[in-house]
Amino acid sequence: MTRISCTLWLERLAVLFVGSLFFVAWTVAAPAQATPSAVTGNSAAAPAGQPAADARAHDDSFVIGNDDVLSINVWNEPNVSRVIPVRSDGKISLPLAGEIQAAGQTPMKLERDITDKLKSFIAEPEVTVMVQEIKSQKFNILGQVTKPGSYVLANSLTVLDAIAAAGGFRDFAKQKNIYVLRQNPDGTQSKLPFNYKEVLKGQKLAQNIKLQARDTIVVP
């Protein structure tokens, strides 16, 4: 064998040896690289349209009232699901379920009532009730303001906010003698003073209380 042929043979042998090492290394590494894909497959999201386990929002404290707007969702039943206000008689009407008393119920209790009504028509109905707009909780403002009347109670509304919503004072309003009448749980009434002049100066800010449902602000 010539020296050139021997050299070529050795080079080919070296290439084959390196290729074999690369193949063995790839074969060993491949299963380890496949593991994340397997984990991802096991933790895939639920099929589209299926409700997540924690997606249902229950409320067992708020009491629904007249004029509140409810979002009622019956899973996989778009013809029954809808956004609907509570009528003045405290009831709502739903396809298949018919007339249902909503006022005086919590959203969770109303869910159960609607579910019971639908069981005759839908196998294992899944119902979610959410209060989309709270319009039943109101406060009153009377006396020397531009627009006295009854207003929807929004979150964290204060006496100052209420006065602004009512258009401010009339010319002869006694701004130091304003008070809030509040219904107590025992049926009695509390009179909470509010001095607009002091609050405007940053004094005694604690009197600028957050309003509650059925509070009445009197501006003499």
Lowest mean pLDDT, pick from 6-10, 80-84, 135-139: 6-10
Let me know how long the chain is.
220
CA 204 vs. chain centroid, Å, equals 34
Assigned token pair, 184: 């107590």
Phi first, then psi: give them for residue 199, nearest 5 degrees: -65, -35
Look at the chain and report how many structural domains it folds into.
Answer: 2
> Residue 169 carries which DSSP code?
B
- Residue whose tokens read 């906010």: 161
Q: Is residue 189 part of a domain?
A: yes
Q: Is residue 12 part of a domain?
A: no
CATH number assigned to the domain comprising residue 203: 3.10.560.10
Contact 154, 139 (CB under 8 A): no
Q: Is residue 55 part of a domain?
A: no
Phi first, then psi: give them for residue 80, nearest 5 degrees: -100, -35
Q: Is residue 112 part of a domain?
A: yes
Q: What is the pLDDT of residues 56-79, one digit of tens each?
A: 345 577 899 999 999 999 999 999
Q: What integer pLDDT is reported at residue 55 of this predicted model?
A: 31
pTM greater than 0.75 (yes/no): no
Look at residue 70 and give its three-state secondary structure.
strand
